[in-house]
């Protein structure tokens, strides 16, 4: 198989991470969870009381942020490392997700992270997901996927995940999180996760994770 890049954009809670990771494993590709970068930057800003700072200060703080990944054998996942600290668990909290828009909305921070993501892309043989993947980060990706799903199904999936992880859960807060992410990430003026014109849309409302993986693998075979 040629040295290719598979870009996956999505509506939140379409099982994109598990799907992307599953596709990568089946192909023996590297899974690049770029969303962890944004979450880690948000966590740094939160810890340093910079979430509500002006954009200049937020961009300047990027000089103090080092991001990398490390393989976690227990979870079979690449965890994000923020300035030498594994923050994978902290960045998955709903309370943090509600603050993401304060970082994602800063164009220059997105530019900085896109440049870092594109460095990884030079390896080839990767499956990348999260923001701007098929439109900005890897516009020349060999295959672009956009995962969609109805709101209620996504809400139930998120609640189930938190319950299984023994993490705090408030259904209405999670609904607000999803609605906020929809309005800012996909529908707003500064939307950062739009479907690329040449992306293949996969509706995940009635599919299992394995079915989603199979659909994408079948598309890869046609490359």
Least confidently predicted of 34-43, 91-100, 137-146, 201-210: 91-100
Annotated domain spans of the chain: 5-221
% of the chain with per-residue pLDDT over 90: 62
Both tokens assigned to 89: 């668990």
Banded pLDDT at 76 (limits 50, 70, 90): confident
Banded pLDDT at 1 (limits 50, 70, 90): low
Mark 74-91 as b/e (b = at least 16 C-beta within 10 Å): eeebbbbbbeeeebbebb
In the numeric block, the tokens 């409302």 are attached to: 205
Q: Are 88 and 79 contacting, i.e. CB atoms less than 8 angstroms apart? A: yes
Q: Are 13 and 158 contacting, i.e. CB atoms less than 8 angstroms apart? A: yes
So what's the pLDDT on residue 187?
Answer: 61
Helix (H, G, I), strand (E, B) or coil at 29: coil
Q: Mean pLDDT across the chain, nearest whole number? A: 90
Average pLDDT of 159-178? 83
So what's the pLDDT on residue 82?
Answer: 98
Banded pLDDT at 190 (limits 50, 70, 90): low
So what's the pLDDT on residue 188?
Answer: 58
So what's the pLDDT on residue 189?
Answer: 55
Average pLDDT of 196-223? 95
Nearest to 32, CA basis, from 65, 69, 1: 69
* Whether the model pTM is above 0.85: no
Q: Are 23 and 70 contacting, i.e. CB atoms less than 8 angstroms apart? A: no
Banded pLDDT at 151 (limits 50, 70, 90): very high
Dmax over CA atoms of the chain, in Å, equals 49
List pLDDT tens digits, range 95-128.
Answer: 898 898 899 889 999 999 999 999 988 888 999 9
Nearest to 89, CA basis, from 33, 155, 40, 160: 40
So what's the pLDDT on residue 11?
Answer: 86
List pLDDT tens digits, range 43-70.
Answer: 999 999 999 999 999 999 999 999 998 9
Query: How far apart are the C-alpha atoms of 19 and 23, rounded to whole Å?
Result: 6
- Which CA distances in Å does 85 have to 40, 151, 163? 10, 34, 26
User: Who wins on pLDDT, 52 or 191?
Assistant: 52
So what's the pLDDT on residue 191?
Answer: 60
Query: How far apart are the C-alpha atoms of 195 and 8, rounded to whole Å?
Result: 9
Q: Are 126 and 34 contacting, i.e. CB atoms less than 8 angstroms apart? A: no
Mark 187-216 as b/e (b = at least 16 C-beta within 10 Å): eeeebbbbbbeebeebebeebeeeebbebb
DSSP letters along 131-183, please?
A: SSIIIII-TT-SEEEEEE--HHHHHHHHHHHHHHTT----HHHHHHHHHHHII
For residue 36, pLDDT over 80 is answered with yes
So what's the pLDDT on residue 15?
Answer: 86
Give φ, ψ of 204 to 5 degrees.
-100, 10
For residue 217, pLDDT over 70 is answered with yes
Q: Which fold has domain 5-221?
A: Rossmann fold (3.40.50)
**Sequence-ordered list of residues with C-beta below 8 angstroms from that of 172, at least 6 positions apart, any chain:** none
């Amino acid at each position: 198989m040629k040295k290719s890049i598979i870009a996956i954009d999505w509506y939140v809670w379409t099982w994109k991470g598990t799907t992307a990771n599953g596709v990568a494993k089946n192909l023996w590709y590297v899974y690049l969870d770029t969303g962890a970068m944004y979450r880690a930057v948000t966590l740094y800003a939160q810890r340093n009381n910079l979430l509500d700072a002006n954009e200049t200060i937020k961009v300047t703080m990027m000089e103090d942020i080092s991001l990398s990944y490390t393989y976690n054998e227990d979870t079979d996942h690449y965890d994000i490392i923020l300035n030498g600290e594994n923050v994978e668990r902290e960045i998955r909290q709903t309370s943090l997700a509600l603050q993401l828009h304060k970082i994602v909305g800063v164009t220059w921070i997105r530019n900085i992270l896109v440049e870092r993501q594109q460095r990884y892309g030079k390896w080839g043989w990767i499956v990348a997901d999260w923001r701007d993947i098929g439109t900005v980060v890897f516009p020349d990706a060999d295959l672009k996927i956009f995962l969609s799903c109805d709101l209620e199904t996504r809400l139930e999936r998120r609640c189930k995940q938190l319950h299984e992880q023994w993490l705090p859960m408030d259904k209405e807060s999670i609904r607000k999180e999803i609605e906020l992410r929809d309005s800012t990430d996909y529908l707003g003026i500064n939307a950062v996760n739009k479907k690329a014109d040449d992306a293949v849309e996969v509706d995940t409302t009635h599919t299992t994770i394995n079915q989603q993986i199979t659909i994408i693998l079948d598309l890869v075979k046609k490359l």
